[in-house]
């Protein structure tokens, strides 16, 4: 794919305002204000924005098991349980040599816990795209995986790459976006993509 800022558009469309059922019921009553005509009421519009990705060749479909693994990992990160996140990464890796070396799983999990803790320490500044450098944190995670022999599944690697690419876009569009506030509904299963 060729995902860079030149291939990301913000589409703006004017759409008619649709009155709610409640508003429709009460608009049948004669208006005491004769200066507002019916055509003026129906000409109301609102602006809707959508993001359009051109040539976004990064496409992956996660199996239900991969989805569960990703959600469990994100849940551990969001709830500041970095040690659990590290252990999940080792346990669920398709290939790893970390568990074969004494103390390696503990060292890896402690390293992940430090990264997750650094992420949560940013709360004082706010966990916004402007304050948190996800790319730097993910780079540290990948370094730990390399050092300790924990292989990242190709499907998960695609998620990491997409996250790195979209971080910059998100920062330029909404640097004040609170990451935890935005992510919790999805990780807890109440959000829709």
Separation CA 174–CA 100 (nearest Å) = 44
Sign, CA dihedral 92-154-4-59, equals: negative
Separation CA 82–CA 75 (nearest Å) = 10
106 three-state secondary structure = helix
Q: Quickly tell me which residue has 């080792």 as its tokens.
A: 90
Separation CA 35–CA 166 (nearest Å) = 49
Q: Is 2 a catalytic residue?
A: yes
Q: Which two tokens stand for residue 115?
A: 């990264």
Q: Which two tokens stand for residue 135?
A: 């790319």
Identify the active-site residue in 2, 43, 106, 121.
Answer: 2
Catalytic residues, which ones?
Answer: 2
């Amino acid at each position: 794919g060729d995902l860079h800022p030149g291939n990301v558009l913000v589409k703006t469309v004017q759409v008619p305002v649709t009155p709610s059922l409640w508003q429709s019921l009460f608009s049948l009553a004669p208006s005491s204000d004769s200066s507002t005509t019916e055509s003026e009421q129906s000409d109301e519009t609102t602006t809707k924005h959508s993001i359009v990705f051109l040539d976004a060749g990064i496409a992956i479909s996660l199996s239900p098991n991969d989805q569960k693994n990703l959600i469990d990992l994100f849940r551990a990160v969001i709830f500041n349980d970095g040690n659990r996140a590290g252990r999940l990464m080792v346990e669920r890796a398709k290939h790893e040599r970390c568990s074969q070396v004494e103390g390696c799983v503990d060292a890896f999990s402690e390293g992940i816990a430090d990264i997750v803790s650094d992420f949560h320490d940013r709360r004082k500044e706010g966990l916004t795209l402007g304050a948190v450098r996800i790319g730097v944190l993910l780079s540290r995670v990948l370094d730990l995986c390399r050092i300790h022999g924990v292989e990242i599944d190709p499907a998960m690697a695609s998620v990491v790459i997409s996250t790195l690419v979209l971080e910059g876009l998100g920062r330029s569009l909404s640097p004040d976006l609170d990451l935890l506030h935005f992510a919790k509904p999805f990780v807890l299963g109440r959000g829709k993509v």
